[in-house]
Structure 1
């Protein structure tokens, strides 16, 4: 159950309301594939706040907004309204955006493990593991696309192998950007918006990073 609802912006609530309405409309018109895609979009967009509530995490509003918009743009607009075919840059833009997001999430997770209560490691090691975690998340997403295509007859992979390899290359670039951002953050040199985003999350969840905070004070 989601407890912290004060971070839900009007944009997020509007998107969720539109998706819920679209589910009922699609069911009423017997558009089963559209209903499934819409319901999947709504469910995935609710995963981050649900997990955050379950794990007692505080997610920054920009993060919640970004994940909601991403799922809406990639699955609902991309698949249900065929934006991937209508706009040639749609797939590239979304994968670039998600790659950096995966990388930043990977850094926060790895940083929590190494700089929380039990572990510590040099910034270079954390940056390297961050890159590996982000690439793994990207690979899992490609598997998800394949399963969706094979199971429900969608076309998320588009040109097949070429699309998959291109997505993984973009993911590698985004993972590298996030890793470098995290590395510079550990050196107390936050890099613009991305660095401030890391700092905001860590500040909101101090209990997970207290060993790092104590070490930086010395």
Structure 2
């Protein structure tokens, strides 16, 4: 690998892959799930009989410099190599809002807490077991996921939990504020993940 390391994760981060990839099959599908795990796969017909393996992020990225283009692939997104176009095609692989579809997306509150002292998400045990009717604060960013950050892009709003999807490990809820940005409205139903929860209403904390 000849390019500088741009991934937020360390080079020795453990990633899921397959026997075929470790034996030299080209990587054509990459997934960055909402738990933060990376997964690297070859062509579907080449991995049908494959067994799961673990390899470091650096080792996998080092197989092809073009994989470095995925350093900013958001949580819950995947990318597939388009050989004809010669580039990675990214797509949302989760039920949560995206800028392309809704005009905003939800910030990872755990990540934000590393940079903003006024964001202190509840413990994981609390975020993973929210009851129906709970009020949680989410951070909405009205800009493209990979776009440059600027003032006025984000709004912190309360969302009331209305549903729990145990299979997907996420929630649904309604926006309980009047957003300043026109892309969202009071009462909109959205899906969100425990990592999006930036705060819990004090009477419920």
Identify the TM-score tier after normalising by the shorter chain. Answer: 0.3 to 0.5
Decide which structure has greater helix share: 1
Higher relative contact order (CA 8 A, sep 6+): 1
Write 1 or 2 for the structure with the bigger share of strand.
Answer: 2
Give the TM-score normalised by the residue count of structure 1.
0.31
Give the alignment's TM-score, normalised by structure 2: 0.32
